[in-house]
Amino acid sequence: MKHLLFSTTGDWAGFILRILLGAIMLPHGAQKLFGWFGGYGFTPTMQFFTDTLKLPWIIGLLVITLEFFGAAALIAGFASKVWAFGLLVVMVGAIITTNYKHGLFMNWFGTQQGEGYEYHLLVIGICLVIMLLGSGRLSLDNWIEK
C-alpha cells in the first residue's frame, strides 16, 4: 500500500506538474475556506454547494478540503497521487454540475451565461499524469518511498 500511494519516478515532470497544480488550486481553496482572493469563505460557499447546487454537505466539505489542503499537500509532494485523484473527481464534478451546459470554451468575451470546461479538462490531464508519475523530485513522497 505504501508503494502504491507514495511511489514516484523522481523526475522533473512530476515536480513541475504538482507544483503547478498546487499553486493553481491553493488560491481556489483559500477562496472557499477563508474568503481570500475575492472568495466568499467557508459558510457562504457551503450554502452555495448545499442550497444552490443541492449537493450533500459532505461533498461541499470534501471539495473545500481537497482544493485547499490537497493543493498544499501537492506543493509539498505528500501523497500526490491521492490528492491528484481527489482533484480529478472535483473537476469532473464541476463539469457535471456547473460548466458542461456552457460548452468547452471559457467565457472570454462575456457572451455566455457561465464558464466552459476547458480549464477543468487541463486540470484533469495534469491530475492523470501526477497519478501515473507521482510527485517527482524534491517531494515528501520521494523521501517516504526511500
Residue 6 has pLDDT above 80, yes or no: yes
Dump pLDDT digits (tens) for 80-118: 999 999 999 999 999 999 998 888 998 888 888 889 899
The set of residues, in sequence order, having a beta carbon less than 8 Å from that of 26 and lying 6+ positions away, is 67, 68, 71, 72, 75
CB 10, CB 3: distance < 8 Å:
no
What is the pLDDT confidence band of residue 29, given thresholds at 50, 70 and 90? Answer: very high
CA distance 143 to 121: 30
Give the three cell numbers for residue 124.
Answer: 484533469
CB 134, CB 81: distance < 8 Å:
yes
Q: Could you tell me the residue ranges of all domains in the chain?
A: 2-145
Dump pLDDT digits (tens) for 61-71: 999 999 999 99
CA distance 41 to 60: 12
pTM more than 0.85 = yes
- Write out the E strands in 27-101: none
State the pLDDT at residue 107. 85
User: Nearest to residue 136, comparing CAs of 17, 55, 48?
Assistant: 17
Mean of per-residue pLDDT scores for the chain = 94
State the pLDDT at residue 127. 98
